[in-house]
Amino acid sequence: MTASREIRADFDDATIVIYQAYGDRIADAALAAGTFVAPFSFGRMTWLKPSLTWLMHRSDRARRPGQERVLAVRITRAGWETALGAAALTTGDPRELARADVHVQWDPERTLRGAPANHYSIQVGVGRGLIRAFAEDWVRDITDLTPRVRKAAGLILRGDTAAARRLLPAERVYPLAPALAKPLGMDADESGIRHLRRGFPARKEGNRPSLCCRDSVTNADGRLTGARST
């Protein structure tokens, strides 16, 4: 059974993949440099999304203006967990949120067809205090997934969701210690720690398969309450 709030991602023993969507200028510069450089803005919050289906929905499958390019950004797990440890929930105390370098919100996960699922997907907003570390220290590589996303979109439109799913990387529950999980609105059972205790084979870095926007905000009851720009 899927927990209501857990992090599901493509990860190995050292890195995790997050997804972002940009226009051509930012995407081309990032792909050429292997990390984010101008015209990427270091003065505004950037949102990290470990769910590709959620990002596909939000970018209208790489068709929304300014989000025509979908990037898979592999970052260090150490950086990812640094962000989570510095985060405040967007549904929490406004004063704490104003002080936090990182914002976390939970939005309804999306199916391949774009329908809301019965569980949530985490969105992690990295602010100016950590955005240089994100670009200069955490990023390991960037892959352009746009052709794959558009091919999957065509299959979905034809009703072949099974073939579309096979184009996408597998995502599994990310193991997170309770000390990090609880402040994010997760309990130990929902944090993936149960998977960590059972153990599972870790994919070694280097053996992985080859392969922004406005985010809806939910309140504590899961209802959409507004939007946040990245």
Which pLDDT tens digit goes with each residue over 9-35? 999 999 999 999 999 999 999 999 999
Query: Which is it for the CA torsion 11, 52, 217, 106, positive or negative?
Result: negative
Residue 194 is predicted with a pLDDT of 42
Rounded Cα distance between 31 and 143, Å, is: 7
Decide if 36 contacts 139 (C-beta within 8 A): yes
Assess whether pLDDT exceeds 70 at residue 64: yes
What's the rounded mean pLDDT across residues 156-182?
96
Q: How confident is the model at residue 222 (pLDDT cuts 50, 70, 90)?
A: very low
Rounded Cα distance between 6 and 185, Å, is: 9
Q: Where are the beta strands (DSSP E) in 83-197?
A: 87-89, 102-110, 116-126, 139-144, 172-173
Assess whether pLDDT exceeds 90 at residue 228: no
Q: Within 13 Å, how many C-alpha atoms sit on residue 29's CB side? A: 11
pTM surpassing 0.85? no
What's the rounded mean pLDDT across residues 150-171?
96
Residue 67 is predicted with a pLDDT of 97
What's the rounded mean pLDDT across residues 64-84?
98
Mean residue pLDDT across the chain: 85
Q: How confident is the model at residue 3 (pLDDT cuts 50, 70, 90)?
A: confident
Which pLDDT tens digit goes with each residue over 99-142? 999 999 999 999 999 999 999 999 999 999 999 999 999 999 99
Residue 80 is predicted with a pLDDT of 98
Assess whether pLDDT exceeds 60 at residue 52: yes
What's the rounded mean pLDDT across residues 195-219?
37
* In the chain, where the domains are located: 8-198
What's the rounded mean pLDDT across residues 86-108?
97
